[in-house]
Chains A and B, each alone.
Chain A
Amino acid sequence: MAKISIENLRHSYLSAPTRDDDFALKRVHLDWADGGAYALLGPSGCGKTSLLNLISGLLHPSEGKILFDGKDVTLATPEQRNIAQVFQFPVIYDTMTVYDNLAFPLRNRGVAEAEIKTRVETIADMLELSGTLKNRASGLTADGKQKISLGRGLVRSDVNVIMFDEPLTVIDPHLKWQLRSKLKELQQRIKRTMIYVTHDQTEALTFADQVVVMNNGEVVQSGTPIELFEKPKHTFVGHFIGSPGMNFIPCEMKGGKAFVGGASVGAVNATEAKSGKTELGIRPEFVSFAAKGLDADIVKVADIGRVRIVEARLAGGYPVKLVVEEGHEIPAKKAKLAFDAERSFIYENSWLAGAAR
């Protein structure tokens, strides 16, 4: 297990990059503690997979350093770094049994058969694969195969970090839940450093202690799931995290107060806004119907079971979404909306006003 430091890392797939746009990864700086669960979250093409491959050693960076426990591994191979990786599509050795698949990394490293047996059996037990050890691995379902991929990382005692590259892509929703919570349970139990790459916010937020949100080759915000949800530093994070994403409503600033369509609305950082394009950001979870508030028309209600998602339109034509719990009334056409002032933030040119970047 290791502490991972990434210092001024840049990477380009071109041989002679000149402009900033030539870089798939534009100066990334991160410090990760030993034994943590981390996620790299972002849309496709944001650079998260490049960063993952740089950490695992499948790629070498154009500039910058990667340190494992203070030791420079920037140019080391994956074997030298002692990492394990679970890929998007299950990688298993078709001709081997489940047992042999799990034993494979140990046999390659010359571990004695007796020890292999105990280790494989412990891990198989953890992953609920004990019953299938003698079966051919190719006959397993997709989630079983992903467990084998993971197991091949877990059997090794010397693994510094286990990486996951969108591991649940090919898994059905029901099994996704099971495998996801299994992963989380394992992480909480064995405390190994794990890095999880995904475009799916639910997977990232539920798995990781610390989520790194990326866009266009840059880290936009790194924080705990709760921080990212409650206080996004950038409108991109607000939009990307949460389902539906954060509402952003253009507002005017006058004398340290925010006004939406002429009405004053409270916001935590209202006094911090200086200049530029200002928007009020509020999560759909913190908008509610009230006797007093902003006038709005109800456009659409989607019942998604546990909650309903209401689409409303403010006087100026600005759309606002609300999340309403089961059992609460929803007005038919016209409504008044109240924003929780403790959960409202002002964004200035897309960045959270007053926050350090």
Chain B
Amino acid sequence: MNKTLNNKAWWFVFPVFLLVAFNALIPLMTVVNYSVQETFGNNEFFWAGTQWFTDILKSDRFHAALGRSIFFTLVVLAIEIPLGLAVALTMPKKGPWVSVCLILMSLPLLIPWNVVGSMWNIMALPNIGLLWHAITFFGIDYNYTRQTGDAWFTLILMDVWHWTSLVALLCYAGLVSIPDAYYQAAKIDGAKPWAVFRFIQLPKLKHVLTIAILLRFMDSFMIYTEVIVLTGGGPGNSTTFLSIDLVKYALGQFDLGHAAAMSIIYFLIILFASWLFYTLMMRNQES
């Protein structure tokens, strides 16, 4: 639908333009600028062309980090989406418990990311943390600072703890908006709970789930703060995701050109994946 032109309205949009310019456009342009040049810091620049890009795409280190990011994202999505949905389904729809549940669910979302990292760091620390005691109590050798598997386990557990409630809250909002008549009709048709879920709740939650998956994909693929606080990318490089590797290049080695090119590749991957995902879901919608 096209609306009537109203020139005054542009002034209302203007602050957003400024914001987007400072937030996205100017930094992005700086990054693009760096990505095609070589510099050693003392304000000397040499033209590098696409050299950085070809280097990165051929580099094993990049492939390994990318692989870790993808794997982490997939595992996190595979756990959080079904779990969040399950939690939403068990939440009460009416009564005084609704607000209690909603507040409890939103608590993890209110905690700053670095605090989340620190909390889990303390929880999992050998000989000190509650989590360490709980796991070793069962005779399991658990040390996330030394063993790769344990580090991954702790990271995934932390992310699930932190973000499942977001999925649950989104699904809950979707669930309560389903009119009662659907449940009544299903009751009358003799549908079992599984059929109610499969044929009413799931189809009606499609939009919400699309949004939930998209949000969780972008967030988990770009995860940085919690990981750097908890494992710092280690042990070794075993939890060095793309974001962490990027910072290592940029601030650790001060390899600005390389880091800039990597940022752009990173950005394009996320943009492409989100676009692909969104288009697929929407096409599904129409047919």
Contacts and interface: CB of A to CB of B under 8 A. Distances in A.
Q: Do chains A and B touch in the complex (CB under 8 A)?
A: yes
Interface of A: 56, 58, 77-79, 83-85, 87-89, 91, 93-96, 104-105, 108-109, 149, 152-153
Q: Which 6 A-B pairs have the closest CB atoms?
A: A108-B190, A105-B189, A91-B185, A87-B181, A93-B199, A95-B203
B104 to A, nearest CB: 27
Nearest to A87: B181
B199 A108 contact: no
Contacts of B199: 93, 95-96, 104
Interface in B136-181: 179, 181
A319 B181 CA distance: 43
Q: Most chain-A Cβ atoms within 10 A of its Cβ — which of B182, B184, B188, B189?
A: B188
A85 B190 contact: no
B189 A77 contact: no
B200 interface: yes
Contact of B185 (A94, A95, A96, A149): A149
Contact of A89 (B181, B192, B204): B181
Given A85-B184, A96-B199, A108-B191, 6 more contacts: A56-B188, A77-B187, A91-B182, A91-B184, A108-B189, A149-B185
The size bracket of the interface on B is 10 to 19
B200 A93 contact: yes
A83 B188 contact: yes
A335 to B, nearest CB: 51
Contacts of A152: 185, 189
9 contacts: A58-B187, A77-B187, A85-B184, A91-B182, A104-B199, A105-B190, A108-B192, A108-B195, A149-B185
Contacts of A104: 189, 191, 195, 199
Contacts, number: 52
A107 to B, nearest CB: 9
B262 to A, nearest CB: 43
Interface of B: 179, 181-182, 184-185, 187-192, 195, 199-200, 203-204
A149 B182 CA distance: 11
B203 A85 contact: no
Given A93-B200, A95-B203, A85 B191 contact: no
B184 A79 contact: no
A88 B188 contact: no
B192 to A, nearest CB: 7
Contacts of B185: 85, 87, 91, 149, 152
B184 A78 contact: yes
Contacts of A84: 188
Contact of B187 (A78, A88, A94, A109): A78
A78 B189 CA distance: 9
Q: Most chain-A Cβ atoms within 10 A of its Cβ — which of B182, B190, B199?
A: B190
Nearest to A109: B190
A140 B194 CA distance: 26
Contacts of A96: 199
A153 B184 CA distance: 13
Contacts of B203: 93-95
A79 B185 CA distance: 10
B95 to A, nearest CB: 13
B189 A87 contact: no
A79 B187 contact: yes
Given A93-B199, A93-B200, A87 B187 contact: no
Q: Most chain-A Cβ atoms within 10 A of its Cβ — which of B182, B189, B199, B200?
A: B189
Nearest to A155: B189
A88 B181 contact: yes
B239 to A, nearest CB: 40
Given A89-B179, A94-B203, A95-B203, A79 B188 contact: yes
Contacts of B187: 58, 77-79
Q: Most chain-B Cβ atoms within 10 A of its Cβ — which of A56, A93, A109?
A: A93
Contacts of B184: 56, 58, 78, 85, 87, 91
Contacts of A56: 184, 188
A87 B179 CA distance: 11
Contacts of B190: 79, 105, 108-109
A52 to B, nearest CB: 11
B192 A91 contact: no
Contacts of B182: 91
A95 B182 CA distance: 14
A153 B188 CA distance: 9
A85 B184 CA distance: 9
Contacts of A108: 189-192, 195
A337 B187 CA distance: 57
A96 B181 CA distance: 18
Contacts of B188: 56, 78-79, 83-85, 105, 153
Contacts of B200: 93
